[in-house]
Structure 1
Amino acid sequence: MSIGNSPESPEDDRNFPADDRDSIGRALQQARVAAGLTVEEVSASTRVRVPIVHAIEEGDFSRCGGDVYARGHIRTLARAVGLDPAPLVEQYDAEHGGRPSPTPAAPLFEAERIRPEPRRPNWTAAMVAAIVAVVGFVGFTMFNGTDGQAGPGAVAEGPAPATKSAAAPAKPKPARPNPKPAPSDSAIAAVPQDKVTVKLTATDDKSWISAKAHDGKLLFDGLLNAGESKTFQDDERIDLILGNAGPIELYVNGKKIEDSFESGQVERLSYTKGDPQAG
């Protein structure tokens, strides 16, 4: 009978605490198993596709689409299995070069400040024109009055012509209707009242979005690059998933949604007709 330590079987590894710093995917997988959840159940509750969940648990973040989406998926999966997402995100940043610094705002375009001065009216030319007009009118009046006077021996023949009746007053011109003010840039023109209309614009970064109608029909599923916009309409409801909600500018039924979303944050929203209220 030999005395020694027997080799450990794979089942014995479960009796020792896992080092979360060694693997983010392993921490998420063990928490999911401890919570009694399958990959399909986690995918259904977080809207993260099954292949991406498998890849993250194996430590492969290449299918996430970038660091921003990887952080968002880590936060979403950690909350779903009951873990604190902050340490896992910090571990991801430490392993992948840290969080990138924000891009500085572009300087103001200095040419906008240089504007030509308004032209001043030429009062000298206006006064000269007025004097010439007055002199011409006086001369014309004096000339016509001299020609129209009769001689001292002239006798008027016949009765003086009857004066013409006063002219009828001119009809007033109909007032022109005031032009309608132009719609502001923050409103969506001609939004139908019997539908729900959602417009999304990626301002300074790309974002993965998914939009579905009330009957589950997929309206869009993909990336919205910076500067691009998408508009969706449905008769009853539109369901949204924003993979990177921070750079998204959202208009619902012609009104801007003022909710402040963070970069890398995953948001699931639903909107119906009338005043925009997220469901």
Structure 2
Amino acid sequence: MSNSDVDETTQADAAVSLLGATLRRARENKGLTLEVVAAQLNLRAATLQNLEDDRYDALPGTTFIRGYIRSYANVLGLDGNSLSKQYVQEEQPREGVKPLQNIERKSRARFFLISFVLLLVVIAGLAGYWWFEQKDNRQSQSDKQTLLNKVEVEGVDGTLHIQSLDELNAQTASMDIEEIQMTALEPEPATEAEASAPVVESASTAERVDELELSFIQDSWIRVTDAQGNELASGLKRAGEVLKLSGDGPFEIHLGYAKGVFITFNGQQVDFDSKIRGNIARIKLG
């Protein structure tokens, strides 16, 4: 590796490390503990610790890391959008130059872990397996049914409370619709051959289908309808889920915990922070 390559890698490492240090300093300057901030964000303290230590490998993925950084920074009074963009600009190039040795080491560790778990399962035996399996299934179904009917939301005064999906549905239904107009992407310039070719309107051009993607960094209740009022999706979505929808826009979107959702429309990220009212939102997009 040349000296210039080493310098560039070192500079990238130093720049990225400033991100975690910035978050830590802001939290300490406010006299807050990780546990207090984690409770405000409905996240684990370990997640915030990983952000401050720049341990992104311990977090789920780029979309969610950006969301965590943005939410954490906003709580601390920092520019969440700016720090989120800093992560994308500075961390992503480094992911392509991670040593192959680290990848192989992680693969071996994962193999040994899986083998150890399988060994424990064999040792445990099959005698009581069926009974415990049935018991776990019944409990899991009961828990899921309870969770699907309720969600924890933050009120206007900042307090957290449990609210039923019916209540959230009624609240968003009574809200005014906030319209968001998306700017169409500029088409790529045609080549000389394409410009001289006869124009033939394809079926995809005549009947354009809009693409909608919702990524959840926190639990949130949603309801999405298309231009004809057809319901495309509804219910409670859990942190870590990604929902992809397509149809005839504009879409009407109800969000029970809007701060926990990232929205992309036809490949463009949607900024709807100003449309949120008390952590819930009702927007028309398209």
Q: Which has the higher contact order (CA 8 A, sep 6+)?
A: 2
Same fold (TM over 0.5): no
Larger Rg: 1
**TM-score interval for Structure 1 and Structure 2 normalised by the shorter chain:** 0.3 to 0.5
**Greater helix content:** 2
TM-score (norm. length: structure 2) = 0.37
